[in-house]
Structure 1
Amino acid sequence: MRKIIAAVLTRAPGRLVTRELILSDPGPDEVLVRIAYAGLCHSDLHEIDGTFATTPPIVLGHEAVGFVERVGSAVHDLTAGDLVVTCLSVFCGRCRACVRGMPSICARRTWLASGRPDRLTTLDGRPVRPTAGIGAFAEMAVVHRNALVAIPPEMPLPTASILGCAVTTGIGAVVRRARVEPGSSVVVIGAGGVGLAAIQGARLAGARTVIAVDLVPEKLAAACELGATHALDGRGPDVVAQVREITGGGADHVIEAVGAASAVAQAMAMLTPGGVATVVGMVPSDPPIRLDGNDLFFLEKTLQGSFMGSNQFVRDIPEYVDLHLRGRLRLDRLVSDVVPFEEINKGFESLAAGRGRRIVVEIRPRKEDR
């Protein structure tokens, strides 16, 4: 066991506070990872601000990059010093979903992600939950082997930190769940880190028309730089009509990357008959999503969800790294700010205000780390 410094959510809604915690040694199927950088995700923010229920005390953070310090006795494919990325869609490899090639919805994920109750505790022995079994807003984390993937050491660390959520979610929603075909028209609602990844995924898939919708001019400019053919201000009352005009009657695909019931309804309205809307944002249950039954019955539109881009991250993430290193993906453009660990709350304030794209926190890199 060892003492570590972590940013802990002690009440919700609330703010993260720095605490000294006890981290256990890794079990047989676990890996001790020294975290270098971690991305700030809206799902973390929603637990901090109380939008989604959580149970404090909890160490948030699920997309991160770090270095293997030690492996458990049953881990034979990782070794100390390996550069690894965390992904919250930990999988068992044996359940019905996993054997069908759908590890992102593994039936045993919740159990695997819960970890051992003594994995992370206060100094007086009270359990502290690491979110998704990771808890990346800390100097070190003990993580199940199936929540990690090794990547090449030449990958820049701040960019690598967002591979396990923003990148897999955005690109995966396009290529794995929506299965966008060459020549298609695609709308992406929300041009944050996930949305910008989806835009690049649509470009890679060969979409002819890629329309970005957002409220922030800087994000729309980044979307155009990364492959969007059109950029629309989502506050405009005629944004649906604009999409229909650009696409000649409606888009083949709409990717909803905001997480709002109103955006889901807007996505359905933007579709051509027979089109598909894919929701990747975390939509609160209140207010409920309202749909027009005619869209489903007479117009054969489809509304579907995609958790974490329906990823197979052990295969997907190395491929995305390769595409980035070869210049076919600009994943570095998804990161707008890198903040020091002691300013993590300021980073979340920027995220809540809609500033920037993906914000990354620098945890504790070594001098030789990049």
Structure 2
Amino acid sequence: MPRTITAAVLREIGQPLHVERLKLADPGDEEILVEIEAAGVCHSDLHYLRGELAAPLPLVPGHEGSGRVVSVGPRTSGAIRPGDRVALLWRPNCGRCAQCLAGAPIMCELGGVQAKVGGLPNRAIKMSDGAGAVHHLMGVSCFSDHVVVHERSVVTVPEDIPAEVAAIAGCAVITGVGAVRNVIGTCVGEPVVVMGIGGVGLAAIMGAKLAGAHPLIAVDIDNSKLALARRLGATHTVNSREADPVAEVFGVADSGAAWVIEAIGHPQTLSAAMRMLRPRGTVIAVGLGAGGQTFEVPINELVQRQKRVVGSLYGSSIPALDLPAIFDLYRSGRLPLDELVGERFALEDISDAFGALASGAVGRSIIVPEGAPS
């Protein structure tokens, strides 16, 4: 029997989310029902609310969450069981397509399927109101007290990991730390710049510190965020409203940066990131921009100085391997992820949470549905 849930629904671009009662169908084949414990508020959600990224409407946003499995549907693999704690993944993988077989599961073809139909990877749409279907965002839709997701859209979480940490680990942390672990690798003694000190940028700072970056330079327009970046490992900070970040980087690292992680997704900051590089340096673009945006790359600079720019979706990760490693590093104190957790909001106050995000709140705001563990 369908259950009634409370969820935040986007019905019109540019309009506030409405917290409503919806019907949620039981989990079907390879699907699981999860009670949400915590959900992070990410800039990618804001892109969808503003219409800068497209998705079918009406829609329940939220793609960064954690919770506990209530039940499983027929013909699941048995790997996920009722009672398990899980982190939700917005990029599931089938394990069979060319990208999965090549060791790049984040590029799995299922991601494009669920984005196009506004459903789960198997095209199912599990939510509805009195008028018809209500779509899923990235197969997750965790701005809700319960969700049905595909079993390949979760990774199990140990009981001693706080719900907020598990939630942000499934998006912000794996994206930022993963960009270092999976794209840079070791960078002992190499100058690294992180542009944009939100949740992803702060995670990248932590990851770069672990990897040995020095100097480690944080760039943002908010001094509070820069102060937190310094606490988490940045050796230098630059307020790009107060100083030219390119000149500041060359003032710290004479030849420029070996690596620049751009966690904003703006044409201007990506262009600045290219100018910060030393010869053979690399820009790693991890921030999503509005659909259709581009940025200019000077051709001769690219060729003569052998610079590179690469994209990294979801930290170029293998979540089933990377998330357990992240949880172990958190337990050991080497990734102080509690520092990333910002203000907590009830689901009914989700508009306030997005207001805080748009105004530059420090840390990741967390939505906690009523009845979830605190």
TM-score by length of 2: 0.95
**1:54 corresponding residue in structure 2:** 55
The answer to whether the 8 A contact 1:200-1:227 is kept is yes
Q: Note the 1:199-238 alignment, pairs <5 A.
A: 199-238=205-244
Q: Structure 1 residue 286: deviation in Å?
A: 5.3
The answer to whether the 8 A contact 1:178-1:276 is kept is no
SS at match of 2:197: coil
The answer to whether the 8 A contact 1:13-1:47 is kept is no
**1:312 corresponding residue in structure 2:** 318
**Post-superposition, which runs of at least 4 consecutive aligned residues in structure 1 deviate over 3 A?**
none
**1:262 corresponding residue in structure 2:** 268
Q: Distance in 1 between matches of 2:112 and 2:7?
A: 23
Q: Note the 1:4-83 alignment, pairs <5 A.
A: 4-73=5-74, 74-83=76-85
Q: 1:281 aligns with which of 281, 287, 295?
A: 287
Letter in 2 for 1:77: A
Report Cα offsets for 1:285-309 as digits up to 9, x if no partner.
5553011112211000001111111
The answer to whether the 8 A contact 2:19-2:347 is kept is no
Q: 2:98 aligns with which of 96, 99, 119?
A: 96
Q: Note the 1:347-358 alignment, pairs <5 A.
A: 347-358=353-364
Letter in 1 for 2:84: D
The answer to whether the 8 A contact 1:40-1:359 is kept is yes
SS at match of 1:128: strand
Specify whether residues 50 and 347 from structure 1 end up closer, same or farther in structure 2 by C-alpha distance, changes over 3 A only.
Answer: same
- My pick for the range that moved more, 253-262 or 150-159, is 150-159
User: Number of matched residues?
Assistant: 367
- My pick for the range that moved more, 200-209 or 248-257, is 200-209
Q: Percent of counterpart pairs with the same letter?
A: 40
The answer to whether the 8 A contact 1:92-1:109 is kept is no
Q: Distance in 1 between matches of 2:22 and 2:348?
A: 16
Q: 2:162 aligns with which of 156, 161, 164?
A: 156
Report Cα offsets for 1:104-156 as digits up to 9, x if no partner.
111232225632444111134x1111101111011110111111000111111
Q: Distance in 1 between matches of 2:170 and 2:224?
A: 24
Letter in 2 for 1:191: I
Letter in 1 for 2:128: T
When the two chains are superposed, the root-mean-square deviation of aligned CA atoms in Å is: 1.4
Q: Structure 1 residue 284: deviation in Å?
A: 2.5
Q: Distance in 1 between matches of 2:79 and 2:371?
A: 24
Q: Note the 1:176-187 alignment, pairs <5 A.
A: 176-187=182-193
Report Cα offsets for 1:232-273 as digits up to 9, x if no partner.
101234220110121112000000001101010010010001
Q: Structure 1 residue 93: deviation in Å?
A: 0.6
| Residue 362 (str. 1) matches residue 368 (str. 2) | yes
SS at match of 2:183: helix
Q: Distance in 2 between matches of 1:117 and 1:29?
A: 11
The unaligned stretches of length 5 or more in structure 2 are none
Q: Distance in 1 between matches of 2:29 and 2:55?
A: 28
Q: Distance in 2 between matches of 1:339 and 1:225?
A: 25
**1:121 corresponding residue in structure 2:** 128
SS at match of 1:232: strand
Q: Structure 1 residue 215: deviation in Å?
A: 0.7
Q: 2:299 aligns with which of 286, 293, 298?
A: 293
**1:174 corresponding residue in structure 2:** 180
Q: Distance in 1 between matches of 2:114 and 2:20?
A: 25
Q: Structure 1 residue 356: deviation in Å?
A: 1.8
**1:3 corresponding residue in structure 2:** 4
Q: Note the 1:248-259 alignment, pairs <5 A.
A: 248-259=254-265
Report Cα offsets for 1:187-237 as digits up to 9, x if no partner.
000111000000001011111211000111110010001010101101234
Q: Structure 1 residue 364: deviation in Å?
A: 3.2
Q: Structure 1 residue 343: deviation in Å?
A: 0.8
Letter in 2 for 1:120: M
The unaligned stretches of length 5 or more in structure 1 are none
Q: Distance in 2 between matches of 1:293 and 1:299?
A: 10
- My pick for the range that moved more, 313-322 or 273-282, is 313-322
**1:85 corresponding residue in structure 2:** 87
The answer to whether the 8 A contact 2:63-2:138 is kept is yes
**1:247 corresponding residue in structure 2:** 253
